[in-house]
């Protein structure tokens, strides 16, 4: 079983739609969690950290469920510029960052 | 502004050559990482380092070695390059949050 699993997609949605991605992790001792965004042929960039209480940044909402060991990302009112691959990242301790394979999002006009 | 730089964006080498990939960060981070990214496999951790002269194997260390003589610099070495090491190599540095370099696309002929 992979340490961090994501549905690779692609998720094809129209502009304005709401879309959600989930990610599961296997190491229950994992300490911190993040979502990264990666555009084509670019390096991953931090989108947001994920806190136990859930957190929001504009149109983006991240949730963490430690009991079920999953993380979610919700994007509201999708924009064309949201098209990218979204990577779920887990810090397993000692700063070891483990990445999921990513979920590809395509937002169309 | 945080910065992680990698020595080359594109590199073409021949089978059997020794290859050095260099990464430098200016954020005084303790932790540095080397990943490779391949289609369908996502980012896979090769090696990481949490201090000068310290290194830890990641998930796919075979065929690679690393060097961290100074805090800001983390080098990945392919002792004898092989065609299956053709990939995108991404360096990251982290102190909680991870920041990536732009990547080196290595082709081994």
Mean pLDDT of chain B: 93
Q: Which residue in chain A is spatially nearest to B31 when comparing CA positions?
A: A95
Q: Which residue in chain A is spatially nearest to B59 when comparing CA positions?
A: A98
- Percent of chain B's residues with pLDDT above 90: 76
Q: What is the pLDDT of residue B1?
A: 67
Select from A43, A95, A97 the Cβ nearest to the Cβ of B103.
Answer: A43
pLDDT digits (tens, 9 = 90+) for B63-78: 999 999 999 999 999 9
Mean pLDDT of chain A: 92
Select from B33, B41, B56 the Cβ nearest to the Cβ of A97.
Answer: B33
Give the C-alpha separation, A73 to A102, whole Å: 12
Give the C-alpha separation, A54 to A70, whole Å: 12
Give the B window 57-76 contacts with A, CB below 8 Å: 58
Residues of A in contact with B49 (CB under 8 A): none
DSSP state of B84: G
Q: What is the pLDDT of residue B23?
A: 97
Mean pLDDT on A51-63: 93
Residues of A in contact with B90 (CB under 8 A): 43-44
Phi-psi region of A22 (alpha: psi -120 to 50; beta: other; left: phi over 0): beta
Q: Could B42 and A34 be called an inter-chain contact, meaning their C-beta atoms sit closer than 8 Å?
A: no
Give the C-alpha separation, A86 to A81, whole Å: 13
Select from B33, B50, B101 the Cβ nearest to the Cβ of A43.
Answer: B101
Q: Specify whether the CB–CB gap between A52 and A72 falls below 8 A.
A: no
DSSP of B7-43, one letter per residue?
S-SEEEE-TT--EEEEEEESS--SEEEEEEEETTTEE
Q: What is the pLDDT of residue B96?
A: 76
Select from B30, B31, B102 the Cβ nearest to the Cβ of A43.
Answer: B102
Residues of B in contact with A102 (CB under 8 A): 42
- Percent of chain A's residues with pLDDT above 90: 73
- In terms of C-beta distances under 8 Å and separation of at least 24 residues, what long-range contacts does B49-57 make, across chains too? B49/B74, B50/A94, B50/A95, B56/A94, B56/A96
Greatest mean pLDDT among A52-56, B76-80, B91-95 lies in B76-80
Q: What is the pLDDT of residue A94?
A: 66
């Amino acid at each position: 079983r992979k340490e961090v699993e994501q549905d690779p997609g692609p998720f094809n949605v129209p502009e304005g739609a709401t879309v959600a991605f989930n990610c599961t992790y296997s190491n229950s001792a994992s300490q911190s969690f993040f979502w990264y965004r990666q555009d084509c042929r670019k390096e991953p960039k931090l989108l947001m950290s994920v806190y136990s209480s859930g957190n929001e940044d504009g149109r983006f909402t991240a949730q963490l469920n430690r009991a079920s060991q999953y993380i979610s990302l919700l994007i509201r009112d999708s924009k064309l510029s949201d098209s990218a691959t979204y990577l779920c990242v887990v810090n397993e301790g000692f700063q070891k960052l483990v990445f999921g394979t990513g979920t590809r999002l395509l937002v169309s006009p | 502004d945080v910065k992680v730089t990698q020595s080359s964006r594109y590199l073409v080498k021949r089978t059997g050559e020794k290859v050095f990939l260099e990464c430098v960060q200016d954020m005084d981070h303790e932790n540095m990482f080397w990943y490779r990214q391949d289609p369908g496999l996502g980012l896979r951790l090769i090696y990481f380092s949490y201090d000068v002269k310290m290194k830890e194997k990641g998930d796919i260390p075979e065929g690679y070695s690393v060097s961290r003589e100074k805090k800001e610099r983390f080098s990945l070495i392919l002792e004898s390059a092989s065609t299956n090491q053709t990939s995108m190599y991404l360096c990251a540095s982290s102190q909680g949050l991870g920041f990536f370099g732009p990547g080196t696309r290595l082709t081994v002929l």
